[in-house]
Structure 1
Amino acid sequence: MSNRVKISIRSLVEYVFQSGSIDQRFRTSQAMTEGTKAHQKIQQTYEEVDLKEVPLNIELEWNRILYEIEGRCDGILMNAEQVTIDEIKSTSHDLSMISESSYPVHWAQAKFYAYIYAKQQGIKELTVQLTYFNINNEDKKQFVQRCQIGELEEFVYDVIAKYAPYAELRLKHQQNRNASIEKLSFPFEQFRKGQRKLAGAVFKTISDKQNLFAMAPTGIGKTISTTFPAIKTFQTNGIEKVFYLTAKTITRQTAEEAFQLMKGNGLCLHSVTITAKEKACLKEKTLCQKDYCEFANGYYDRLNGGILDILQNEESLDRQIIEKYARKHMLCPFEFSLDLSYAADVVICDYNYIFDPRISLKRLFEDQKKETVLLVDEAHNLVDRAKEMFSAEILKSSFLALKKAYEGKNMILSQTAKEINNQFLLLKKLAKENDSVIFEKVSEDFLVSLEQFRKEAEHELLHQAGTTTDEQLLETYFLTYNFLRIQKLYDERFITFIEMEKNEVKLKMFCLDPSNHLKQMTKGYRSKIYFSATLTPIDYYQNLLGASEEDYLIGIPSPFDRDQVAFHIEPLSTRFKDRERTKSQIVKILAELVKNQQGNFLIFFPSYQYMMSVYELFMDEDIVVEVLLQGQGMSEQEREDFLLAFQPNKTETLVGFAVLGGIFSEGVDLKGDRLNGVVIVGVGLPQIGLERDLIKDYFNKVGKKGYDYSYVYPGINKVLQAGGRLIRSEEDEGTIILIDDRFLENKYQRLLPKEWTEGRKLHPLPH
């Protein structure tokens, strides 16, 4: 039968029986991680003849569709008088709050297991048992129902009937999708130079079930060169989902445009864009509580109707479309986008939905991962983002505040907060003000205190559920929980330190090398495609992103004529100690440039303060130009207005002052005469500090070039990204000026693109 649907029992019953509201006052995070331990404790009480973790599967036909249904039963108890199917659920809630009718979805899951086992074993009657286990006090509560095979069969087919409209919709869509992919051609008349090679490498990588590191120049059209071949593998290689992962909103928009282009060329495909909760929220405050937000209240009662409606009528599920249907069905748009992501063919979202252990989409089962491709855009950004994801910190002030706040209300919680505050005081004695102390790891005593606080805070928050939640306690609970979770990942790639500032003490577990953990977070996915214009040097990025020896590697040379770039290095020192002395010379260089060349220019500086000091001096010059300045904390509208000012064929020269590594130095596409020149002041070195020095020391210790790994390579990446704003197409021309004498050193010369260094030479500018 061609119409086949493969689904897990859990997914099936959750779709049919989900109900209620989103209420994020507090939902215990520990229950999921403690679930396995709870199962094991219950299973240890089984008799020797009893079975545990039993895989069960069955094929059932309904309305000309064959459903392949599978799951894993927690326990099958082989009592001489009767067989009992045991479904174990762990919780932090007081078991007295749970009744037999509290969770229909749990009964549904257990009854599916019971039906499959009874059907396969020829049993006419058996017992279904729900076992609830409290992970805090190890209390146990059980509910039992005696079931006939006939009533179980009726129940099972009733569930399938309720799921069928969604299954039929998805099947029809998949058939239309695959037919459209077979006919889909590249959405341009011809490939740009280098595009076909990149697209071919992506297609082969996915077909071979491998991973790829691809370095392709800015302006080549990397987005369409990776998305198009990935979509073609749906039809030929059994791929069912693509995640397009980005670090910035602007690159998500580029991905949306690429898929829209293919849809305009006949592609039938559901793509969903996940927008950050704060941006997607329809309320004044992002407060996910049913008594505050009407979109959260009863969310799950309306969800299935909303999903069917939007999938029947839309293909590009972007922020605006999701908001439209969220309002129509009274659904939280952020949660709606997450639920749609499991149904979509393509998900466009931030890195953290896959890589961050705190946020990742956890309902993507292992068998689905085998059919899923990850396209990691601007992969150079993932290195520092991953270090943040796998690091964790806590503050002394949080625990001192909670100690005082709960002194008359919850003495146990107050005492545990006091104990942690005392531990911080001991650490404080080891360090002087504004100083730091480095440890190999956190002491066992401290971890025991934190775990005790987590349990007491969780108990208090559960008690507050349904009332006003203490935000300070909630925030500190999650920081502590994350700290303890990261501690379980702790190995030689981490270091711990305390930093002091006035009366505040910060304890941080810092991830120096995220490669191993990135590997773990992406384990099981069919293929991972890491691509960027600036994976230079490539071995640095391969090392830190967790590459294997089997991974493929491709470098696409620039397709653009080297005469398109007029290039010059101005050997002035921009080191911190020399900036005051040389900034007047930099102003003269900029003045000479804009006097001799009309057009639009971007000037990048390594820091906001440095930019401001040169800007103020530049404004004192008698130059007739329009000047724009990147502000701190610019709104989306202010950013758009800044870029819209860069229009072609302007009668007046425009100069934009911006920060290297900031919002305008990558992901910005100013084609043609919208940008005529880029000046980059400095080599982009990150600010010297404790964390950068710890990275340097670690990589020195493991035999790498520590200073380069910590400072030089991250810095040059900012330079290459900023310079890459200039040439975006075959018609673009312009000037790149690098101001710093270090650019003449061999170390930096080797890292600069040949299309720059071998371009037209710009005559030295007077200063």
Structure 2
Amino acid sequence: MSKEVRLSVRPLVEYVYRSGSIDNRFRSSSSMTDGTIAHQKIQKTYAESDQREVYLKTQIEFKGLSFVVDGRCDGLLKNGDEITIDEIKSTRGDLSDITEETNPVHWAQAKFYAYMYARDHELEKMKVQLTYVHVETEEKKQFTEDYTYSELERYIMSVVEKFEPFARMLLGNKEKRNNSIKELDFPFDDYRAGQRKFAGAVYKSIADKKDLFANAPTGTGKTVSTIFPTVKAIGEGHLERFFYLTAKTITRTAAEETLALMKDKGLHMSSVTITAKDKVCFKEKTICQKDYCEFADRYYDRVNDGIMDILANETLMDRTTIEKYARKHKLCPFEFSLDVAYTSDMIIGDYNYIFDPRISLKRFVDEQRKRTVLLVDEAHNLVDRARGMFSAELFKSPYLQLKRAFKTENKGVFETAKAINDHLLLLKKQCGDTRQVELEEFPDDLLGLLEAFVTEAEKELLEQKESEAQEQLLETYFNAKNFVRISELYDERYVTYLEYGKSEVYIKMLCLDPSHLLQQFGKGYRSKVYFSATLSPLPYFKDMLGAEEEDYSISIPSPFAKENADVFIQPLSTRYRDRDRSVAPILTMLKNLVETRPGNYLFFFPSYAYMQMVYEQFEEEDWGYDAIVQNSGMAEEEREEFLAQFEAGKDTTLIGFAVMGGIFSEGVDLKGDRLNGVVVVGVGLPQLNFERNIIKEYFNKNEKVGYDYAYVFPGINKVLQAGGRLIRTEEDYGTIVLVDDRFLTPKYQKLLPPEWMDYKVIR
């Protein structure tokens, strides 16, 4: 029995015939939409007997493999007994530059469709037509060829022959993968408390095609508890691949380490980590043009060899491995990682590759999504990240600068930039003395002006000039384009608000509730697993992440005994008005704490200003303890230096002053005596501001407790994250102090984890 290879026409012919360089010079980002419109205009000229968007499918046997190939041809034209396949391609370039030999991929697509149709209908001959259409002038250029069925068959078999080694290698890897999964045992000797239950819930969700929302505290072993059952589900044929999505490098590393551990236990499965382009680029500047970058020059002539090489020799393709093979084959490491991702079983990367409307991986078509699972780590971060991805903002000042820069350079850019600048000034005047105001209506007039600016900016940018003004124009163009794009998502879950100062006007389309859009962008995937050590309170996160009624949820108890941590509550007011008065009692508590329980401590504060206030007073006291302080905007090396000072077994006490919700309150693993205590000052409430208050009012109107949604729940999550730095293993012991009188109120008592409830009050 032949082994089956399923794929679409386009990726098959692109693999065989793609060539040339990566050349990301400015191109109109509306070209995709324009291309679709151009296609539709050509199709509207078809005769009544002609058909458009015709689905075709065939099965080709070759060297013991069965290739099941499908796709949609743009046009099927009938003229008596004569049948023509029409393949339409849109362009902004000069049609006179296009010849019959310009793009073999286009001919290959069209000839494949002709073969498929002729075979289905037992036709002896077919016509193949390439129609190139200019998106602006609508001018057409056509090439037509006649083929016999046997000519088409010979051509198709030659294409399949070139693709066969790659297909055979993928099938071989898949066979090894499936066999290894059958033999794979859980990679540890025993399951931790709650771990088997969690892993079982993940597997059941995938098998039942449901989403899962899991609160799994530190120590549960979240990474292996999600990856292991997902891998097993691949072996059972439920899916083909999965994404492991996260916001932080440290959790990506944990996923890579888990897979490496399973590889040591016999797993043969490919994974690729996608690292952001600016981090992985080999050049000083990320200019993806053949005349600047040798890794972009002739990229497509070399990439197939690179893919074959890496897939034949590697399974765990992390950043270092991708860079090694990219250098070996002289390939752009970022584009290479994307190309490898489309063949991999596991893809590790940031949330934005799935959920961000600007940069999601669009090559994964609906059919592939059905056999793909999303594992979303640290899912508590996704609410604010999604709100940011689905919102858009504009400042007036860039348009004023462009108006000045292009006054004599480009009339179109000058006039459209001036119109936007003037319109924002008009909105400012309408607000009167109110410097922050929610607009009553969606700014349709502004959108029209932005669309006009985008059109004029595109014309200027296509000329590829180099100057500071051009750089500013490019940046402002992308910002305007994003504003227009986000406006297409705008509905009752959005508001638009305006802020202004002396010389600046700022307008923002704010996504208040990202749940609907997270649902939309996650649509079609077999299953999504949202998990975190602090997905709490669970009903809030289910609501904000777009849970359906039939979705599953699970809360795993902490695997650590409550005796591992001594919990204290110091009932002070840390509210803004009382902060000056709170400094002395906080320092008294600190002194008593480190004298009776020496060791290393992290003190978390709700803001830099509050932290600085306490730290300065601490320095004046000069008690002889070592102290280090988090600064805003710390580089990765500074962050590592900060954490490296937390050493086990030191005679002296070290106190680290840090900010809640910052770089040290998540993803930091200071095991054993590297950390002996955590003090959390305040209930973590986000700063009271105009935007948060709009969010609050929106949820109040929607019959939720708006203050909790905007302030309390995001705040307590920061508290839980900070406190979670302390107990990382079963052998860890230490002290947690919660400083705020609100921790003793019924509202907050309900939000604290059970293992913190055996607390003592510091009077």
Same fold (TM over 0.5): yes
- Retained in 2: the 8 A contact 1:394–1:483? yes
Distance 1:268 1:400, change over 3 A: same
- Retained in 2: the 8 A contact 1:243–1:375? yes
Aligned to 2:342: 342
Distance 1:475 1:523, change over 3 A: same
Q: Deviations for 1:716-764, whole angstroms, at most 9, x for unmatched residues?
A: 0000011111111221111110111111111111100010012xx4462
- Retained in 2: the 8 A contact 1:202–1:229? yes
Aligned to 2:206: 206
Structure 2: give runs of 5+ residues left out of the alignment: none
Query: How much has 1:271 moved relative to structure 2?
Result: 0.8
Q: Distance between the aligned counterparts of 2:217 and 2:52, measured in 1?
A: 54
Kindly provide the amino acid, as one letter, of the partner of residue 265 in structure 1: K
Q: Distance between the aligned counterparts of 2:614 and 2:679, measured in 1?
A: 13
Distance 1:391 1:701, change over 3 A: same
Alignment of 1:576-655 (within 5 A): 576-655=576-655
Aligned to 1:163: 163
Query: How much has 1:498 moved relative to structure 2?
Result: 1.6
Q: Distance between the aligned counterparts of 1:636 and 1:235, measured in 2?
A: 39
Aligned to 2:679: 679
SS in 1 for 2:56: strand
Aligned to 1:15: 15
Kindly provide the amino acid, as one letter, of the partner of residue 340 in structure 2: L
- Retained in 1: the 8 A contact 2:21–2:296? yes
SS in 1 for 2:475: helix
Aligned to 1:700: 700
Q: Distance between the aligned counterparts of 2:445 and 2:28, measured in 1?
A: 24
Structure 1: give runs of 5+ residues left out of the alignment: none
Aligned to 1:723: 723
SS in 2 for 1:219: coil
Aligned to 1:299: 299
1:218 aligns with 2:218: yes
Q: Deviations for 1:52-99, whole angstroms, at most 9, x for unmatched residues?
A: 111101111222111110001111000126211111223344444434
Kindly provide the amino acid, as one letter, of the partner of residue 333 in structure 2: P
The alignment's TM-score, normalised by the length of structure 1, stands at 0.97
Q: Distance between the aligned counterparts of 2:31 and 2:336, measured in 1?
A: 23
Distance 1:570 1:335, change over 3 A: same
Kindly provide the amino acid, as one letter, of the partner of residue 618 in structure 1: F
- Retained in 1: the 8 A contact 2:181–2:235? yes
Aligned to 1:713: 713
- Retained in 2: the 8 A contact 1:25–1:469? no
Alignment of 1:75-224 (within 5 A): 75-80=75-80, 82-224=82-224
Q: Distance between the aligned counterparts of 2:137 and 2:720, measured in 1?
A: 57
Which deviates more from structure 2 when the two are superposed, residues 280-289 or residues 482-491?
280-289
Aligned to 2:662: 662
SS in 1 for 2:89: strand
Query: How much has 1:405 moved relative to structure 2?
Result: 2.3
Q: Distance between the aligned counterparts of 1:164 and 1:652, measured in 2?
A: 66
Query: How much has 1:466 moved relative to structure 2?
Result: 10
Q: Distance between the aligned counterparts of 2:433 and 2:179, measured in 1?
A: 67
Aligned to 2:462: 462
Q: Deviations for 1:365-399, whole angstroms, at most 9, x for unmatched residues?
A: 11111110100001110000000000111221222
- Retained in 2: the 8 A contact 1:207–1:237? no
Which deviates more from structure 2 when the two are superposed, residues 526-535 or residues 428-437?
428-437
1:244 aligns with 2:232: no
Q: Distance between the aligned counterparts of 2:546 and 2:28, measured in 1?
A: 32
SS in 2 for 1:542: helix
Q: Distance between the aligned counterparts of 1:366 and 1:381, measured in 2?
A: 27
- Retained in 1: the 8 A contact 2:399–2:421? yes
1:491 aligns with 2:499: no
Distance 1:404 1:137, change over 3 A: farther
Aligned to 1:381: 381
1:569 aligns with 2:574: no
Which deviates more from structure 2 when the two are superposed, residues 335-344 or residues 28-37?
28-37
Q: Distance between the aligned counterparts of 1:486 and 1:743, measured in 2?
A: 40
Query: How much has 1:469 moved relative to structure 2?
Result: 9.4
Alignment of 1:410-429 (within 5 A): 410-429=410-429
1:257 aligns with 2:251: no
Aligned to 1:764: 762
SS in 1 for 2:488: helix
Which deviates more from structure 2 when the two are superposed, residues 75-84 or residues 385-394?
75-84
SS in 1 for 2:243: strand
1:689 aligns with 2:703: no
Kindly provide the amino acid, as one letter, of the partner of residue 234 in structure 2: F
Q: Distance between the aligned counterparts of 2:80 and 2:229, measured in 1?
A: 58
Kindly provide the amino acid, as one letter, of the partner of residue 667 in structure 1: G
Which deviates more from structure 2 when the two are superposed, residues 386-395 or residues 580-589?
580-589
Distance 1:160 1:440, change over 3 A: farther
The alignment's TM-score, normalised by the length of structure 2, stands at 0.97
SS in 2 for 1:363: coil
- Retained in 2: the 8 A contact 1:126–1:147? yes
Kindly provide the amino acid, as one letter, of the partner of residue 264 in structure 1: D
Q: Distance between the aligned counterparts of 1:466 and 1:764, measured in 2?
A: 65
Kindly provide the amino acid, as one letter, of the partner of residue 143 in structure 1: F
Kindly provide the amino acid, as one letter, of the partner of residue 332 in structure 2: C
Q: Distance between the aligned counterparts of 2:457 and 2:295, measured in 1?
A: 28
Query: How much has 1:576 moved relative to structure 2?
Result: 1.2
Q: Deviations for 1:660-713, whole angstroms, at most 9, x for unmatched residues?
A: 001110111222222111100111111111211110111011111111100110
Query: How much has 1:463 moved relative to structure 2?
Result: 2.6
Which deviates more from structure 2 when the two are superposed, residues 53-62 or residues 500-509?
500-509
Query: How much has 1:575 moved relative to structure 2?
Result: 1.0
Which deviates more from structure 2 when the two are superposed, residues 713-722 or residues 640-649?
640-649
Alignment of 1:262-281 (within 5 A): 262-281=262-281
Aligned to 1:536: 536
- Retained in 1: the 8 A contact 2:210–2:552? yes
- Retained in 2: the 8 A contact 1:685–1:715? yes
Query: How much has 1:524 moved relative to structure 2?
Result: 0.5
Q: Distance between the aligned counterparts of 2:445 and 2:675, measured in 1?
A: 58
Which deviates more from structure 2 when the two are superposed, residues 585-594 or residues 5-14?
585-594
Q: Deviations for 1:494-551, whole angstroms, at most 9, x for unmatched residues?
A: 0111211331212211100011111110111010000112122211111111100010
Q: Distance between the aligned counterparts of 1:172 and 1:440, measured in 2?
A: 60
Q: Distance between the aligned counterparts of 1:136 and 1:574, measured in 2?
A: 62
Kindly provide the amino acid, as one letter, of the partner of residue 344 in structure 2: A
Kindly provide the amino acid, as one letter, of the partner of residue 471 in structure 1: E
- Retained in 2: the 8 A contact 1:430–1:437? no
Aligned to 2:547: 547
Q: Distance between the aligned counterparts of 1:226 and 1:139, measured in 2?
A: 54
Kindly provide the amino acid, as one letter, of the partner of residue 175 in structure 1: E
Q: Distance between the aligned counterparts of 1:116 and 1:515, measured in 2?
A: 43
Query: How much has 1:637 moved relative to structure 2?
Result: 1.8
Query: How much has 1:574 moved relative to structure 2?
Result: 1.0
- Retained in 1: the 8 A contact 2:570–2:761? no
Q: Distance between the aligned counterparts of 1:531 and 1:361, measured in 2?
A: 22
Q: Distance between the aligned counterparts of 2:540 and 2:203, measured in 1?
A: 25
1:527 aligns with 2:527: yes
SS in 1 for 2:463: helix
Which deviates more from structure 2 when the two are superposed, residues 634-643 or residues 134-143?
134-143
- Retained in 1: the 8 A contact 2:206–2:238? no
Aligned to 1:3: 3
Q: Deviations for 1:536-570, whole angstroms, at most 9, x for unmatched residues?
A: 22111111111000100111111221111101111
Count of residue pairs the alignment pairs up: 763
SS in 2 for 1:181: helix
Which deviates more from structure 2 when the two are superposed, residues 69-78 or residues 151-160?
151-160
SS in 1 for 2:126: strand
Query: How much has 1:124 moved relative to structure 2?
Result: 2.3
Distance 1:468 1:609, change over 3 A: closer
Kindly provide the amino acid, as one letter, of the partner of residue 482 in structure 1: N
SS in 1 for 2:457: helix
Kindly provide the amino acid, as one letter, of the partner of residue 500 in structure 1: Y
- Retained in 1: the 8 A contact 2:219–2:559? no
Distance 1:79 1:260, change over 3 A: same
- Retained in 2: the 8 A contact 1:399–1:417? yes
Percent of matched pairs sharing the same residue:
59
Q: Deviations for 1:609-643, whole angstroms, at most 9, x for unmatched residues?
A: 21122112112223232222212222222222222
Q: Distance between the aligned counterparts of 1:645 and 1:512, measured in 2?
A: 41
